[in-house]
Copies of this chain bind each other. A is one copy, B any other.
Amino acid sequence: MSADSFAPTERTRPHRHPERGTYDREVVERTLDEALYCHVGYVVDGTPRVLPTIHVRVGETIYIHGSSASHMLRAIRDGSQVCLVATILDGLVLARSAFNHSMNYRSAVVFGPAREVTDPDEKWMAQKALVDHVCPGRSDQARMPNEKELRQTSILAIPLREASAKARTGPPKDDEEDVLLPVWAGVLPLRTVAGEPIDAPDLPPGIAPPANVRLYRRPTAGS
């Protein structure tokens, strides 16, 4: 059974702006679910590497595509830790002073050892969840992987145990003496939107984009 909050650790403790941090499980999970992709950090020969990759949370496990870098897999087989960060940008915070400019955002960070998923059933389930994370309902439409494809896929699992989230929301915070400056201040909201679907050039005639593609939006209904 999982607690409502993650236990703080040295590496999940916010060093600056502690008021922006939380160990609340629901906030961490929601951020991971809403972010379309993440950045994964790992160490090779003592130096940092960071890769963008697609992730999905299934209960208390996060799955990522491990095939995006063979050296990541190697590093992880050697037992090293990963640091996964999912960030959602919500807006520009435009203050009167340059110093108080900021961003509104939500981010979740997860630390842990990664393991390579080898069980075919778990691999199949993770692949399905990854497809549905990116586009809900897509696994009912796409041809799911055959045995050869599953063998070629490498998926890593990271336990959702050591984690925290950070968020900044709301208006700029200017110093009192700046408030009356003749400078506009406020927030410019930003979001990710989908355009019109573009048919594959080899799409046979008569196949229209399904509703989950036509009406795509983030956050998705499930997250």
Interface residues of A (CB under 8 A from B): 11, 15-16, 36-37, 39-44, 46-52, 54, 67-71, 80-85, 87, 89, 91-92, 94-99, 101, 103, 105, 107, 109, 111, 127-128, 131, 134-135, 138-139, 141-145, 149, 152-153, 171-172, 174, 178-204, 207-210, 213, 216
Contacts and interface: CB of A to CB of B under 8 A. Distances in A.
B192 A191 contact: yes
B92 A134 contact: yes
> How many identical chains are in the complex?
2
Contacts of A127: 98-99
A127 B75 CA distance: 37
B51 A85 contact: yes
A201 B173 CA distance: 10
Contact of A196 (B47, B171, B189): B189
A187 B197 contact: yes
17 contacts: A37-B87, A37-B89, A37-B103, A48-B80, A49-B83, A54-B103, A97-B144, A99-B127, A99-B153, A101-B134, A179-B202, A184-B203, A186-B197, A187-B198, A188-B194, A189-B195, A190-B195
Contacts of A95: 142
Given A143-B97, A143-B98, A186 B209 contact: yes
Contacts of A105: 52
Contacts of A50: 39-41, 50, 83-85, 109
Given A39-B39, A89-B36, A209-B184, A142 B101 contact: yes
